[in-house]
Structure 1
Amino acid sequence: MGVDRLRGGSKKGVYRVRADGPRAASVIVYRWAEAENFWPDVGSPEATDPFAPASGLTPFLAAQRRLDGLGVRVPRVLAVDGSRTRQDADVAVVEDVHGGTLEALLGTDPARGKAALGELADMLAVMHRQLGAQYGRVDVLERGGTAVGSSCEQVVLDRALVDLGEAAARDGRIGSAAGALDDRLRELAERVAPRTSHGLIHGELGPDHVLIDANGSPVLIDIEGLMFFDVEWEHVFLQLRFGEHYGRLARPGLDAHRLDLYALAMRLSLVAGPLRLLDGDFPDREFMAGIADHNANEALSLLPR
């Protein structure tokens, strides 16, 4: 009866399809295709890099199975087609969760939003208690693969140095402080002690990546990057994205040295990533430019005074 493209989705197309008949009145269709990916082609990154672009039916299904098996609420999968015989795309048809995002709910109905936030905290506790000796994306580990690098902190440092180089070439403020930022990253990395187990994390969990179902419960989306990694990486992102609401998601016992390194690394990633995206034809350009500008200022604020 109708098709609406939903906002967001820089690596895949997300569509609400409205139908007439005895089944659900609407479903969501995920479509992974080159034409739906706004990120510019920068070659072929290592598929085993935990931060390589997580896009496609394989990582989605691996993440959906793992989270559903843990009792973490994710959209139900109704149909999939990875044959690429009907169209030049991988396709998944999933449940349409109608309650909007947690981000919106926290603004319009704080009481219900806080209740959903409490459930989300419980979900994260379940995920972060799942420990693995190896770090890496779930679909890679399921195939018997091994992630690149020698440790989570080394992977983050290496990536941060690349992000710093890209950001410095495109943002004058970062360029002027590139030497100090490089020194600070290496100094923070040296303080991190070795670790032998890693938790299961979403990897990019903001309140816009949490939908609300008919029962008022949170539903995780954009799950393709699910991986075993340092939970500190998740918590730095949660604090950044949930802001004043982060306190309900916080947990004791996190490694302060990892938090310091990951906070600076993530800010640099959020400068380089949006600027890289603007090299392509991403439509919401002012929004992305704003993210890069804000995080450049935040990265510089993390330098010692």
Structure 2
Amino acid sequence: MTGTTRGDVTPRDVAAVVRAAFGPGRGPVRVDRLRGGSKKGVYRLTFDDASSVVLYSWAASENYWPARAGAPDAREDPFSDATGYGLFVAAHRALTDLGVRAPRVHLADNGGELFPADFAVVEDLPGETLDDLLDRDRDAAAGVVVRLGEMLTVLHGSRSPVLGKVAVVAAGDGVAPGDRTAEQVVLDRVARDLAEGAALDPRLAELREPLAEVAEELAGAVAPRAAYGLIHGELGPDHVLIDPQGRPVLIDIEGLMHFDVEWEHVFLRIRFGASYPALHRPGLDEDRLRLYRFAQHLSLVAGPLRILQGDFPDRAFMRGLVEEHLDRVREFLTPRGAG
């Protein structure tokens, strides 16, 4: 493994990892890169008995996202890059403590002796994602979506008086509402997205000032809050696997954070579409939902514009996101969009 080229992991590269995880009698006969993974490498290691595990590699070369000058770190902003060994380990521990299903970890290490990057070897769940099942048979997926809603009730019910990624909160570095509220964090994110997006797309540059005014108006309607739930942070159906018992299993968990559950529900509504009602829960704050809906549509313009500056392979998909969500952002400049 060179450490500079994506997708070049071989059985020889992971031989020491497999021995450490499963003993000297095991070794992979095949390594396949799995789709997805814009911030880490995801590989299936298959053994001679056809059993398999998954390797997560946090090598810097696996991250498609361009570096951002002046980007805040995780202690300052829960929306900092959701990638890294430490975030994964802390998130997995938090989910396990709550009884929320994530792939079981066989071995995780950041010492650099077994593999030239931080890594984790986890349970392989080779079936389809919930996204695939929804596309194939929405009725068959309905039960999994209901179970996911039950899982989210547990997750969102885990409260904290401070906000931040779980690794940050566990270290005592979370942000108290008196110092910086969730809506202030989102306003800062909007300002960054507007600045970066405007530099990359003249249409967003033209709308930058009126959109900033919309954000301030929406944030001004939000009432104070003193506690936060635990949210996945980017929970689309592509981040849900299904185990042999038909239970949902959360993946890409590094962004797990204490934050407003309304942020999660806005994302769920965008990503689950017609299946979202099974995930909806009463008691959500409508003012927060409006602010976060605006912020997430804007983020789904600015984020794809950023990743298109690098060598992300599925460029048509990212350009499609820009066009779709720029239209949704424009709606907030009309009375209909603010609702």
Per the normalisation by structure 2, the TM-score is: 0.86
User: Which one has the largest radius of gyration?
Assistant: 2
Q: CA deviation at 1:169?
A: 2.2
Partner of 2:68: 42
Q: Shift of residue 159 of structure 1?
A: 0.7
The separation in 1 between residues aligned to 2:114 and 2:153, in whole angstroms, is 41
- Name the SS for the 1:219 alignment partner: strand
2:133 is matched with: 105
Deviations 1:116-141 (A, max 9, x none): 00000000000111111001100011
Distance in 2 (CA, whole Å) between partners of 1:73 and 1:35 is: 29
Cα shift at 1:98: 2.0
Q: Does 1:282 align with 2:309?
A: no
CA distance in 2, matches of 1:96, 1:261: 38
Counterpart check, 1:237 vs 2:263: no
* Letter of the structure 2 residue corresponding to residue 188 of structure 1: L
Separation in 2 of the partners of 1:209 and 1:167?
26
TM-score by length of 1: 0.96
Q: 1:118 aligns with which of 128, 146, 158?
A: 146
Distance (whole Å) between structure 1 residues aligned to residue 142 and residue 316 of structure 2: 31
The alignment of Structure 1 onto Structure 2 pairs a total of residues equal to 303
Q: Helix, strand or coil: the match of 2:64?
A: coil
CA drift of 1:258 comes to: 0.5
Conserved 8 A contact 1:232-1:254: yes
1:18 matched residue in structure 2: 46
| Alignment of 1:175 onto 2:205 | yes
Gaps of 5+ in 1: none
List, as ranges, runs of 4+ consecutive aligned residues in structure 1 with deviation greater than 3 Å. Answer: none
- Residue type matched to 1:264 in 2? F
Alignment match, 2:55: 29
Q: How far apart are residue 58 of structure 1 and its match?
A: 1.0
Higher relative contact order (CA closer than 8 Å, sequence separation 6+):
1
Alignment of 1:76-115 (within 5 A): 76-115=104-143
**Shift of residue 68, structure 1, vs aligned partner:** 1.3
| Distance in structure 1 (CA, Å) of the matches to 2:139 and 2:74 | 42
In structure 1, C-alpha distance between the alignment counterparts of 2:175 and 2:167, rounded to whole Å: 11
Query: Is residue 80–residue 92 contact of structure 1 (8 Å, CA) maintained in 2?
Result: yes
> What is the distance in 1 between the residues matched to 2:320 and 2:182?
29
Q: Of 268, 271, 291, which aligns to 2:301?
A: 271
**Alignment partner for residue 253 of structure 2, among 223, 234, 257?**
223
Identical aligned residues as a percent: 53
